[in-house]
Amino acid sequence: MNKDYTNLEVWQQCRKLAKEIYNLTRSFPKDEMLRLANQLRRAVVSVPSNIADRGECQTSKDTIKFLPISPGSSYKVEIHFIALINQNDITKEEFETIFISIQSCKRLLNGFINYYRKLL
């Protein structure tokens, strides 16, 4: 099993999403920074972190335990961004850019999980 998660497209895209969100949340008002920005950052970092954790697994069965956590975190990020656009805390352009990245990560995650499920 290839343990170098940094070569995985899914990890690279999820890491890119995390960077985009960190950059965007830097401009949040202080009250949003304390609440939503911190939740967003934790959720978005958990996605590539759980992909990286699979590198420690010895079998596909062990790997599949970690991977389902990542899509759940990506859905949390998506819901937070929907709340931000609904409250007019981000622009439509910011929302669309992030939303596209979130959808891309979710598709890649689903494919990655399906790959490992087929190995069981």
The domain that contains 10 carries what CATH number? 1.20.1440.60
**Cα 43 from Cα 53, distance rounded (Å):** 15
- Of the pLDDT bands very low, low, confident and very high (cuts 50, 70, 90), residue 51 is confident
pLDDT digits 0-9 by tens, 63-102: 777 677 778 888 899 998 998 899 888 899 999 999 999 9
Q: How many domains does the chain have?
A: 1
* Residue ranges making up the domain that contains 82: 5-119
Q: Give the contacts of 22 (CB within 8 A, at least 6 positions apart).
A: 41, 44
* Per-residue confidence (pLDDT) for residue 1, from 0 to 100: 45
From the number of C-beta atoms within 10 Å of its C-beta (0-12, 13-18, 19+), residue 62 rates as middle
| Interhelix angle 38-53/92-119, nearest 10 degrees | 20
